[in-house]
C-alpha cells in the first residue's frame, strides 16, 4: 500500500512517479516498490508533467487578495533509484522554495496547466499567457530559459453554460502544441514561436479533465463524465466513446492501442473496438502495461482482457 493517496501517475520507463492528493511524491520501481518519498511543499501539486529526467510541478498559493504560484524541477533520480529501495523521506517546512527542486521560480498568477516533451515545457497562467521554456543541464545544474510567450487564448465556444472555460491540458504533439479547454475547444500553436496554427471544437457532454498524446496513436481526451474522445495526428476525430462506466483517470498507449483505468473499470481501444472490464476499485493510473495504481493505494493487475470483458 502506498504511503500517499494517489492523484496522478507519471510513467517513467518501467517505473513511475505518483503525485499524492496532499502534495507528496512517490517513486516506484518496476516491481511497484517505493523507492523514495518527497513532499516538496506543504501545498498540493496543482499541475505536473514528466520530461526527460525531470518532473515539472506547479503549486498554486492563495492568500488574501493575492494569488501566486511556484514552479519547480525535480530530478527523477531523486525519486527513482533502479535496483535498490530507498528509505529517505523528506517533507518541506519552508515557505520559499520546493524541497528537492533543482530549479524553481515564484510566479504571480495561477498556473492552470503544464505540459511538455523532451527538454521543453509549456505552462499557462490563468488569463495572462502561455509560456514556452527550455531546460538546460550543465554539470547537474539546471537552468530554464523562456523561448516565447503568447497571449492567453480567447475561448469562443463552450459545451454548456455550466462549464467555466479554462485550460485543462497542454500537449506537445507532432503537429504543434495542443491546448485543450475544459469546455472542449482546442487551439494548436507553433512549437517554434507560439503562433496559432488552427483551432476546433469537441462536441462533449462533460468538461475535459486531461489528455494524453501518443506519436503512434494520436490524442486521447478524457472528460469528467462517461465519455472520451480519440483524435489522430491531424486532429481529426477517430471516435467519440460515450458508453464507459465512469471517467477515465489514467491512460497508456502501446503498440496494440490505448489502455486505461478509471472509475471502477479498466478498458482498451484496439482495432476500433472498446473493451471494458469492471473492477471494485477506482484506477488512478497505469504502472507499465499490465498494472494500475488504485485510489486506495494498492497496485492491482490491469484487467483489460478476460472472458468477462464487455465490448461496447
Q: What is the dihedral of CA 93, 81, 75, 42, to 10 degrees?
A: -20
CA distance 310 to 297: 26
Q: What is the pTM of this model?
A: 0.91
CA distance 196 to 190: 6
Instruction: Answer yes or no: are the C-beta atoms of 46 and 59 closer than 8 Å.
Output: yes
pLDDT at 161: 57
Which residue ranges make up each domain of the chain? 1-138, 243-312
CA 138 vs CA 53, 58, 141, 144: distances in Å: 13, 23, 5, 11
Starting at the edge strand found earlier in the chain, the sheet holding 185-189 runs 167-172, 177-181, 185-189, 196-201
CA 121 vs CA 151, 186, 244: distances in Å: 17, 18, 32
CA distance 256 to 271: 8
Classify residue 221 by burial, with Cβ atoms within 10 Å: 0-12, 13-18, 19+: buried
pLDDT at 298: 95
Alpha helices per DSSP H over 66-208:
76-79
CATH superfamily of domain region 1-138: YVTN repeat-like/Quinoprotein amine dehydrogenase (2.130.10.10)
CA distance 258 to 251: 7
Classify residue 120 by burial, with Cβ atoms within 10 Å: 0-12, 13-18, 19+: middle
pLDDT tens for each residue of the chain, 312 residues long: 899 999 999 988 778 999 999 999 999 988 899 988 999 999 999 999 999 889 999 999 877 667 899 999 999 887 875 444 444 344 544 456 899 899 999 999 999 999 999 999 999 999 999 999 999 988 778 899 999 999 999 988 765 555 568 999 999 999 999 999 999 999 999 999 999 999 999 999 999 999 999 999 999 999 999 999 999 999 999 999 998 999 999 999 988 899 999 999 999 999 999 999 999 999 999 998 889 999 999 999 998 655 455 655
pLDDT at 164: 62
Amino acid at each position: 500500500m502506498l504511503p500517499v493517496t494517489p492523484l496522478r501517475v507519471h510513467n517513467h520507463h518501467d517505473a513511475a512517479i505518483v503525485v499524492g492528493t496532499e502534495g507528496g511524491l512517490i517513486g516506484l520501481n518496476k516491481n511497484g516498490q517505493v523507492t523514495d518519498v518527497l513532499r516538496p511543499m506543504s501545498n498540493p501539486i496543482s499541475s505536473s508533467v514528466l520530461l526527460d529526467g525531470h518532473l515539472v510541478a506547479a503549486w498554486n498559493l492563495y492568500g488574501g487578495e493575492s494569488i501566486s504560484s511556484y514552479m519547480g524541477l525535480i530530478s527523477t533520480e531523486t525519486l527513482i533509484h533502479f535496483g535498490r529501495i530507498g528509505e529517505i523521506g523528506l517533507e518541506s517546512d519552508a515557505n520559499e522554495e520546493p524541497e528537492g527542486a533543482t530549479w524553481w521560480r515564484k510566479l504571480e498568477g495561477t498556473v492552470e496547466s503544464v505540459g511538455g516533451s523532451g527538454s521543453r515545457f509549456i505552462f499557462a497562467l490563468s488569463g495572462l499567457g502561455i509560456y514556452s521554456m527550455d531546460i538546460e543541464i550543465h554539470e547537474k545544474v539546471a537552468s530554464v530559459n523562456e523561448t516565447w510567450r503568447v497571449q492567453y487564448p480567447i475561448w469562443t465556444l463552450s459545451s454548456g453554460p455550466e462549464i467555466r472555460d479554462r485550460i485543462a491540458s497542454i500537449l506537445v504533439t507532432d503537429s504543434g502544441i495542443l491546448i485543450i479547454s475544459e469546455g472542449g475547444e482546442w487551439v494548436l500553436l507553433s512549437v517554434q514561436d507560439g503562433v496559432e496554427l488552427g483551432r476546433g471544437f469537441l462536441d462533449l457532454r462533460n468538461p475535459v479533465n486531461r489528455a494524453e498524446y501518443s506519436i503512434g496513436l494520436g490524442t486521447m481526451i478524457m472528460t469528467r463524465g462517461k465519455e472520451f474522445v480519440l483524435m489522430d495526428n491531424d486532429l481529426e476525430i477517430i471516435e467519440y466513446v460515450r458508453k464507459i462506466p465512469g471517467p477515465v483517470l489514467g491512460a497508456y498507449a502501446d503498440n496494440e492501442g490505448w489502455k486505461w483505468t478509471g472509475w471502477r473499470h479498466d478498458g482498451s481501444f484496439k482495432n476500433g473496438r472498446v473493451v471494458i472490464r469492471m473492477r471494485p476499485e477506482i484506477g488512478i493510473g497505469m504502472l507499465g502495461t499490465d498494472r494500475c495504481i488504485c485510489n486506495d493505494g494498492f497496485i492491482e493487475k490491469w484487467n483489460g482482457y478476460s472472458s468477462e470483458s464487455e465490448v461496447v
